[in-house]
Chain A
Amino acid sequence: LSSLPHQLDFWHHPTSPGHPADLRVPFPSLQAVKIFLESNSISYSIMIEDVQELLDEEKKTMMRSRRTERSTDTFDFASYHTIDEIYDWMDMLVDDHPSLVSKIQIGQSFENRPLYVLKFSTGGSNRPAIWLDTGIHSREWITQATGIWTANKIAKEYGQDPSITTILDSMDIFFEIITNPDGFAFTHSSNRMWRKTRSINAGSNCVGVDPNRNWDAGFGGAGSSSNPCSETYRGPYAHSESEVKAIVDFISSHGNVKSVISIHSYSQMLLFPYGYKRAPAPDHQELNEVAKKAVNSLAAVYGTKYTYGSIVDTIYMADGTTIDWAYDNGVKYSFTFELRDTGRYGFLLPSNQIIP
């Protein structure tokens, strides 16, 4: 049989007389094989009528189960995740919404972890953009968790929610969910209360720079520390941290970012520039109005109360912050959120409170 030019595929080769052989017969050869077997008095039975049908069914089942374990619909937003789980989820989000979401790498952390940004865009070329970041202070776990949930909401609600649709029809959104991946990994492996980056400080045993004191806006003032062991250590110079430099370079070269919203916890506040000086920002009036409206809208949902104002008036003096840099570099609508709670659980907000 194998000498016949019929492309027969033996699944169980003939061994010795009296023992069955199994073979797959391509459709065009069906008649010829049947005739051959019958004319040689070789008895046969059909085990599988149509192999292709079976293959098609198997493929469908595989895809179905693949989708169940890899779907963003089954991702548990009500628990805290590891860096790998979040990076995997990002890829799922892109897979599920390929015409809306893409993943960009804007740089690398000190320990060479990729810095990923999700881009939400319905087209155009270098449209005006909104920048969002969560997790710049790694111990603020509610922020990364809120980042995932929010990114998912944006992707799902485009086309349904009027506000999201209006925004994405004319603007792009760039969302960096794990802004400080080294710190985040460290909060999982070693110290849940780690805030800073994990960069090595020359001449010191203490590790890390406060990434929200490292920006070139009032850098080096009273609102940050020169001590590497301090939680608010500003770093050796502005933008020394690769995590910060990556964003600076991205926003600067984009050239059309209209708003920067940097998300922290805790305290329940909505803040705008400045933190590095007491003088009100030129747009103080407008920013204050926007903050007021936002805080009222927020309270309207579940009654959650946020206070608002400039950083220096509302929380404390802080220099070298993200939003002060953004504001001083042409991004008028620069805001920082301090999410829940007000101190009862602080950084250790229970996972059952992630989803409001």
Chain B
Amino acid sequence: DISDVGHKYHLELVLEDVLDKDSTVNCTAEVLYHLANKNIAPDVQFTIEGELKNTDEADNMFYNRIRSLEKELVAENIPDSHGNVSPEMEPIHLLAWVASGYVIWQNSTENTKFQLAQIKHVKQVKRSDEYLEFDYMILLHEMVSQEIIPWQMTVLWHPQHGVQVTQ
């Protein structure tokens, strides 16, 4: 508790690769929730002890596949009602998950706990540069209120330049 500033949390956590449960990496972080202005995102500082797995091969495969599509990608309900995600849509799902992480961070307070519940709709947007652009309509589940919150996010991605989210 930092008086007049906010609440600071010191965390020790283990990052686990969603695609490979045995691949883990330790991490320490400090999170500061601001007292004054609740509308700004909490400050986050972190240190990763070790290296994250190299994903160049999978990234490039996905990138090339999307770039070579004749028509812009469009999809709905990922996962579907039964929890299924088709193999072709798995990277779209993972991208949404990463991007929603940013949205969640920007909107978190000490009294919220958000998860990505579902991608309702995703539409690829044609670009003249090398980035891939996707327009997502997602549903976020907020645990404390139990509300399902629709959210629109535009996501840019490039294998070498990473993810960018514009809300």
Contact = CB atoms under 8 A, between A and B. Distances in A.
A interacts with B? yes
A348 B118 contact: yes
A343 B118 CA distance: 11
A79 B146 contact: no
Contacts of B147: 230-231
- Interface residue tally of chain B, by bracket? 10 to 19
Contact of A351 (B82, B118, B139, B143): B82
A336 to B, nearest CB: 14
A325 B148 CA distance: 27
A232 interface: yes
The main secondary structure of chain A at its interface with chain B is loop
Given A193-B117, A193-B139, A343-B115, A348 B79 contact: yes
Given A79-B82, A193-B139, A353-B83, A348 B148 contact: no
Interface in A10-35: none
Nearest to A344: B18
Given A193-B139, A343-B115, A344-B18, A350 B79 contact: yes
Nearest to A80: B82
Contacts of A79: 82
A304 to B, nearest CB: 13
A350 B148 contact: no
Contacts of B115: 343, 346
Nearest to B141: A346
Interface of A: 79-80, 141, 187-188, 192-193, 195, 210, 230-232, 267, 316, 343-351, 353
Instruction: Give the 4 A-B residue pairs with the shortest CB-CB distance, closest first.
Output: A350-B83, A231-B146, A343-B115, A348-B83
Given A79-B82, A348-B79, A350-B83, 10 more contacts: A80-B81, A141-B81, A193-B118, A193-B141, A343-B115, A347-B141, A348-B80, A350-B79, A351-B83, A353-B83
